[in-house]
Amino acid sequence: MKEVFDYVDRHASEFVRELQGFLRQPSISAQGKGVEDAARIVERMFSSLGARVQVLRAGEAAPLVTAEIPGGGEGTLLFYNHYDVQPPEPLDRWQHDPFGAEIDGGKMYARGVADNKGDLVARVKAVQALLNTRGNLPVTVKFVAEGEEEIGSPNLERYAKEHPEVFRADACIWETGGRDEEGRLEITLGCKGLCYAHIEVEGGSFDLHSSLAAVVPNPAWRLVWALSLLKNDREEVLIPGFYDDVREPSPREVALIEKLPADPERLAKQFGVDRLVLGLVGTEALKRLYFGPTCNVCGLSAGYEGPGSKTVLPSRAMAKLDMRLVPDQRPTDITRKFEDYLRAKGCGDFRVTWLGAEHPARTDPDSRIVKVLRETVVELYGKEPLVFPTSAGTGPMYQVAAQFGTPTAGIGIGNVGSRVHGPDENVSVSDFLEGIKCMALVLERFAG
């Protein structure tokens, strides 16, 4: 691989500039900002590889940009990525322009650089490096890049139904990943599912003087009471049947967790909290993080939120909630139970809008792709990777891979300080360049 790695080193600054260009294009799916422009950048990147590129459409959905480059050997490896990013808000918490892609102290700062534009570019450049040094690829490579991952991939199921051929592969490399605080690469074998609820409660037809609070119902109170019935302060989700389909992790999966360095307390400190929920420590905290479903308040809004006091009875109240699901919970089942419960509690007039619903998925830890990734990491970095039976996060692994029986593993260029979804999201420039080499080596090893 020396010639391939040399190629990467020679083209390093050019690759960095290309990534910066991509990052400077906002592509905020939640706000409908710049998504089409980002898709065109992806299309051009894929085309530059000489790939067969398709920009697939499904109604008003963001396009699915796909590519296929035939390989010299047997087998097909699919790269799943997304070109959309989370909203950058709250902007006042950023030290760097979220769409400036500034490099500062060896780190590149931008919304989406870790999740996951950096990985998408690293994979494209790995293919380019192989093609430009060897003339062809060891295996067939497919790319699927979607533009709605950060809003729960609402149209990916439809794309998968209408174009199953662009997804079929022998294995899939998932969108993102990173290193732990000691620099060990992390390999991730699953995704949690998700149900995302936007809840609106209406009261009077306009905000009222709060003296009327003695007799006029307050939608903010109604929302608070309803939320307090969804989860109690022992962190138990109270929706009847919520836990019914939670599958016990296999002994093999539990063993992977037990092999992980169990220092979630250190992580807690890094995030600025004193303790984890329920005072959990060690492996118990990790088991809850990876095998437990969640019910989380993402946002609240009602009445007067400005400085000082305003004595007002709000006319509406809003909450955003996400629930992360684990196998074998099903989003349609959970959303139904959620709505039934609210209705039973006298909240049938709440307007619940589901902004995305995703199945959980997990890959067998003994799959071949897991072995290939592990061996690649040992060869390249000289250190055993950490293998996670699942991510604590969500992705459309079911639609992209699990429903086609494709074993899937995630690996990427982020690190424990990458602040994914937060302000000052960043990656190390050197990790980006290493990531290109890593992906080239994975392709070679996968060919056997």
Write out the binding residues for its own copies, residues 397-436 only, by CB under 8 A. 419-423
Helices (H), 139-295: 156-162, 219-230, 251-259, 264-270, 282-291
Q: Tell me which of 48, 232, 250, 332 binds its own copies, using CB under 8 A.
A: 232
Kindly tell me which of 255 and 297 has the beta carbon lying closer to its own copies.
297
- Which strands form 426-428's sheet, in the order they lie side by side? 102-104, 107-109, 426-428
CA distance 65 to 320: 30
Tell me the closest approach of the beta carbon of residue 363 to its own copies, in angstroms.
18
Is 199 within 8 Å of 435 (Cβ atoms)? no
CA distance 230 to 357: 18
Tell me the closest approach of the beta carbon of residue 18 to its own copies, in angstroms.
26
Tell which positions 57-96 bind its own copies, by CB under 8 A: 86-87, 89-90, 93
Q: Output the six-digit token pair for 81.
A: 């990525």
CA distance 51 to 56: 15
Tell me the closest approach of the beta carbon of residue 281 to its own copies, in angstroms.
10
Check binding of 30 to its own copies (CB under 8 A): yes
Check binding of 13 to its own copies (CB under 8 A): no
Tell which positions 247-266 bind its own copies, by CB under 8 A: 264
Is 207 within 8 Å of 303 (Cβ atoms)? yes
Tell me the closest approach of the beta carbon of residue 306 to its own copies, in angstroms.
6
Tell me the closest approach of the beta carbon of residue 349 to its own copies, in angstroms.
9
Kindly tell me which of 170 and 265 has the beta carbon lying closer to its own copies.
265
Tell which positions 96-125 bind its own copies, by CB under 8 A: none
Name the 3-class secondary structure at 312: strand
Q: Tell me which of 44, 247, 275, 336 binds its own copies, using CB under 8 A.
A: 275
Tell which positions 291-310 bind its own copies, by CB under 8 A: 292-310
Is 22 within 8 Å of 41 (Cβ atoms)? yes
Helices (H), 135-250: 156-162, 219-230
Going through 359-434 in order, the beta strands assigned E by DSSP cover 361-362, 386-388, 408-410, 414-415, 426-428
Check binding of 238 to its own copies (CB under 8 A): no
Kindly tell me which of 15 and 99 has the beta carbon lying closer to its own copies.
99
Q: Tell me which of 217, 261, 282, 348 binds its own copies, using CB under 8 A.
A: 217
Kindly tell me which of 132 and 353 has the beta carbon lying closer to its own copies.
353
Tell which positions 330-359 bind its own copies, by CB under 8 A: 346, 355-356
Q: Output the six-digit token pair for 10.
A: 């020679």
Tell which positions 160-199 bind its own copies, by CB under 8 A: 192, 194, 196, 198
Closest C-alpha to 191, from 443, 442, 409: 409
Kindly tell me which of 345 and 374 has the beta carbon lying closer to its own copies.
345
Tell which positions 358-387 bind its own copies, by CB under 8 A: none
CA distance 125 to 81: 14
Check binding of 215 to its own copies (CB under 8 A): yes
When computed from its CA atoms, the radius of gyration of the chain, rounded to whole angstroms, is 23
Tell me the closest approach of the beta carbon of residue 225 to its own copies, in angstroms.
5
Angle at the Cα of 360 (from 354 to 364), degrees rounded to 5? 170
Of 14-22, 24-32, 103-111, 409-417, which segment contacts its own copies by CB under 8 A?
24-32
